Structure 1
Amino acid sequence: MTVAAQDWLAWHERYDQPGSLLARRLAVVQERIRLALDAAPPGRIDVLSMCAGQGRDLLGVLEDHPRRDEVSAVLVELDPRNTEVARRCAEELGLPGVEVVTGDAALTDHYLSSAPAQLVLACGVFGNITAEDVHRTVEHCAALCRRGGSVVWTRHRREPDLVPSICGWFADCGFELEFVTEPGDFGVGVHRRLDGPPPSPLRPGTRMFTFLGQLTMAQRGCQ
């Protein structure tokens, strides 16, 4: 798989810049994660995170969340430098239920043991893949997320604004919209999996998307 020439370790430094787009988006994502954990049924809470980076969204919430010890999470990220940061953070926070995997987050194999999960995070994914792959990934979310569970996702709002289409694709796959940010410089959405017939099981050995990165997306004119 070809990844755009982007230093994804340095990219995370923008989260530490007060008022930056990433810092503001992270705050919204963390609030939606917190609400999803608050509303989860009693008992174990399975969480899956695609392209998890350093895990700042979930780990930042689990640091002081009252249900932190009930969370069993799988964070999948390709860059080993970022997974090392995430793994070290989880250890320092005393979160043995968090597993950090260095691997291609597009492959379904990484999620077979925990899907369908109560909470699925697709943050930092949809802005780095083609519209066709976004649609395909949303379709896979029906197998990744259990009925009554939620998917938290992000996408930029640059033209062409794909957020309305993403909401429609989730609706087509048996999800209802719980939350979406107003049009601005970033988009955060939450969709809840409705009760209904169970989807087909997650198939092993399947690629949901090809991660291109925003630089390659821009070069190809497919943002």
Structure 2
Amino acid sequence: MDWHAWHEEYERDDSSLGRRLRVVQERIREALDGCAPGPITAVSLCAGEGRDLIGVLASGHPRAGDVRARLVELDARNAEVARQAAAGAGLPNVEVVVGDASLTRHYDGMTPADLVLVCGVFGNISDDDVKRTVDHCTELCRPGGTLIWTRNRRKPDLVPQICTWLEERGFLRIWVSEPDAGFGVGVHRFAGEPRPLSLGAQMFTFVR
């Protein structure tokens, strides 16, 4: 899979990826709106070009200056696009790391975070790895923090099971897109106590 070329679908307003991006951005805005005054920490797994978070911050969100973020992306071309976008928008506290986003060590010093983005991940890994990553989200999210995630709704639809796994681990369901939306976006708030980050762990492996 050429993940750099894959991003071209975002340019089409009528594509499922383009529509999903707009939904994710709206959920990010809502999450930032709900954060308490003061610094906000955010991490993004498999961040791609950073269009979701950087797009929101660059659009003039009033909390943009409070956000310290780390975006982790394996494709160096996508990471460079994200880095340039952050710099062009005057976002010096948005860090882009080129590396395997499945490795927990990349989030050291940033967790537990106020906002965790797991977008474009669950549809590209095995069901067992989805469950394993959900487990690790209890290390990534602070109490009251927001997790925004995506997954396709193709049969067999795993979205209901992902919600169950999250809710069994102390996440409260805030919003999930309708089954006929053409994509799946979920928002959960962590109501539990975060576990220490298990450095040296691998959360998932891409299957394509």
For the aligned pair, the TM-score class normalised by the smaller chain equals over 0.9
- Alpha-carbon separation, structure 2, partners of 1:159 and 1:176: 25
Encode CA deviations 1:77-110: one digit per residue, 9 max, x unaligned.
Answer: 0000000000000000000010000000000000
- Give the match for residue 81 of structure 1: 77
Encode CA deviations 1:99-150: one digit per residue, 9 max, x unaligned.
Answer: 0000000000000110000000000000000000000001110110000001
- Alpha-carbon separation, structure 2, partners of 1:199 and 1:111: 14
- Alpha-carbon separation, structure 2, partners of 1:62 and 1:207: 29
- Alpha-carbon separation, structure 2, partners of 1:116 and 1:199: 7
Query: Cα distance, 1:212 vs. partner?
Result: 1.9
- Give the match for residue 25 of structure 2: 30
Among 97, 102, 107, the residue aligned to 1:106: 102
- Alpha-carbon separation, structure 1, partners of 2:146 and 2:85: 25
- Give the match for residue 188 of structure 1: 185
* Aligned: 1:139 with 2:131: no
Encode CA deviations 1:7-60: one digit per residue, 9 max, x unaligned.
Answer: 111110110012110000000000000000000111110000000000000011
1:68 aligned partner, one-letter code: A
Aligned length: 206
- Alpha-carbon separation, structure 2, partners of 1:86 and 1:212: 24
**Per the alignment, in what secondary structure is the counterpart of residue 114 of structure 2?**
strand
2:101 aligned partner, one-letter code: A
Asked if the contact 2:73/2:98 (under 8 Å) is kept, the reply is yes
- Give the match for residue 2 of structure 2: 7
Matches within 5 A, 1:60-71: 60-63=55-58, 64-71=60-67
Asked if the contact 2:140/2:194 (under 8 Å) is kept, the reply is no
Query: Cα distance, 1:211 vs. partner?
Result: 1.5
TM superposition score normalised by structure 2: 0.98
TM superposition score normalised by structure 1: 0.91
**Per the alignment, in what secondary structure is the counterpart of residue 149 of structure 1?**
strand
Asked if the contact 2:48/2:82 (under 8 Å) is kept, the reply is yes
**Per the alignment, in what secondary structure is the counterpart of residue 118 of structure 1?**
strand
- Give the match for residue 209 of structure 1: 204
Asked if the contact 2:79/2:96 (under 8 Å) is kept, the reply is yes
Among 32, 50, 67, the residue aligned to 1:55: 50
Matches within 5 A, 1:123-134: 123-134=119-130
- Alpha-carbon separation, structure 2, partners of 1:17 and 1:191: 28
- Alpha-carbon separation, structure 1, partners of 2:138 and 2:36: 19
- Alpha-carbon separation, structure 1, partners of 2:6 and 2:195: 36
After TM superposition, the runs of 4+ consecutive aligned structure 1 residues lying more than 4 A away are none
